[in-house]
Amino acid sequence: MKLHVSLAVCAALTGTLLPAQQVITGSAAFADWSQQQPGTMRKITPADLPAPFATQSVDNGPTLINRPKNAWPIAPPGFRVELYAGGDAATPMQRADDTRKTYGPTSGTFVMPRIIHTAPNGDLFVADSQAGSIFILRGVTPEGKAQIVSEFASGLDHPFGIAFYPSGPDPQWIYVGTATQIVRFAYKSGELKAENPAPEVVVPEIPGYAQLRGGGHWTRDVAFTADGQHMLVSVGSGSNIDDPDTHPREFHRADVLEFTPAGKFVEVYAYGIRNCVGEAINPITGQLWCSTNERDQLGSNLPPDYVTHVEEGGFYGWPWYYTGNHKDPRLPQPCADGTGPNPQLTAPLSALHAVSCKRVDIGSRVITPDVLVQPHMASLGLTFYPNHSANFPAEFEGDGFASEHGSWNRARRGGYEVIMIPMKDGKALGEYEDFLTGFVTPQGQVWGRPVGVTVGHDGALYVTDDGSRSIWRVIYTGK
């Protein structure tokens, strides 16, 4: 097992190899923002879960404040955090500001910086979803700022996912997942603005805005399989627990959908994933991984959000089950001829058929996620550290990083951090580490909400924060 960062740093500074750090397990692993400290390791297992409704569900969403002058993201010893871009808006981003209508910034650089990905040439592509724009950030000044910030494209409907195709040093296309379509721009490596501002529509219609507040679950991430033959698009549910057999609007939702690069639908790649927000291809195994939001209103500590590998044809439970075969008591079993047992149906069940259907238990099919994280943390962006030492210590090679946007359906808020997921040979060890915290003041006021994560060619970890409308740069200095 690899030493995680706090041990590696201490060993480097003291010359002493320390014993392996204790991993917090059991009920103690369920932590709120005040207990999240860089270097703390946690492991939640299915056996640790409370019973449904053991605690009351609450609406405890934060009202964000402007970042106080003395507030700054906190990384483990040996790392430095820099404000790379943005952070110059007059007001923080509130949940009520997330609307279906896009609009430009009234002050500052960004409105809602979300997913961030590194292009093969090292440029950082950022989706400013609420502005409807894709930005390119390039270079680093001596003060740690972006040398260039350029708007690559605009006029998009809540862009989120970004993918470069084909793989390799010279992609020809940039694919963008919007709330309702997949589009692409012709691309030449190094250009700062799309040559043609009108993108080509690749997939003209995907399940879009939901009935959740704020239009919920509109994020559409895009990734290409390791062989480049297929495009994988994540589509979140349109509800909390609506049974897709009796709610046709849930058809082809809570899924990862597979298309050809030209946009032809192939199959439901994986299903029962309530909201796979962030996708990433594991560079060691070539598998798809998802950073996933689970359902609400079962209690403060139920069910956990998760980060997991995604198997082709795999079933992850939603809405009937969670965290393996735990049954959601609010629902009956799925229809025998519905989408649960038969994900490749070409149309939802008719209302009459759904009412009279035979119900079956398919709990044995549910794949238990690899890494369970705090319930309601809202796990969003996901990336893997390159399998070669760049800037971070070698112990990080192949490890995962995920952004936790922060909870609303929990009495004691959790999340508002970036976690590190230890891996060995491309497989998760099951625990995670609080890596980048500090987005909540000691008094419990929230000023920042991490969303996207990527590793630059300089080896730094770049984190978008749509609360303070910022992009942060985390580098290892060893000091």
Q: Report the C-alpha gap between 440 and 393 in whole angstroms.
A: 27
List the beta bridge partners of residue 433. 41, 420
* pLDDT of amino acid 387: 80
Q: Report the C-alpha gap between 445 and 67 in whole angstroms.
A: 10
For residue 342, what are the CA distances in angstroms to 270, 310, 326, 334, 345?
A: 11, 18, 20, 10, 6
Q: Which pLDDT tens digit goes with each residue over 435-466?
A: 999 999 999 999 999 999 999 999 999 999 99
Task: With a cut of 60, say whether residue 33 has pLDDT above it.
Answer: yes
Tokens of 232: 């994988």
State the DSSP H helix or E strand holding residue 5, giving kind and residue range, or none if neither. helix 5-14
Q: Which pLDDT tens digit goes with each residue over 170-228?
A: 999 999 999 999 999 999 999 999 999 999 999 999 998 986 665 678 999 999 999 99
DSSP state of 329: T
Q: Which CATH number does 5-476 carry?
A: 2.120.10.30
* pLDDT of amino acid 263: 98
Q: Shortest CA distance to 405 belongs to which of 64, 8, 103?
A: 64
3-state secondary structure of 30: coil
Q: Report the C-alpha gap between 227 and 118 in whole angstroms.
A: 19
* pLDDT of amino acid 8: 38
Lateral strand order in the sheet of 400-404: 24-25, 41-43, 432-436, 417-421, 400-404, 379-384
Task: With a cut of 70, say whether residue 433 has pLDDT above it.
Answer: yes
Mean pLDDT score, 137-158:
97
Domain spans, the chain: 5-476
Mean pLDDT score, 46-58:
95
Compute the half-sphere exposure of residue 96: CA atoms within 13 Å on the CB side of its CA.
4
Q: Residue with structure tokens 């580490």?
A: 433
- Helices and strands (H, E) in the chain, number of each type: 2, 30
* pLDDT of amino acid 434: 98
CB neighbourhood size of 420 (10 A): 25
Task: With a cut of 60, say whether residue 47 has pLDDT above it.
Answer: yes
DSSP state of 179: S
Judge contact between 167 and 194, C-beta under 8 A.
no
* pLDDT of amino acid 22: 86
Residue 101: CB partners within 8 Å, gap ≥ 6? none
Q: Residue with structure tokens 């879009």?
A: 208
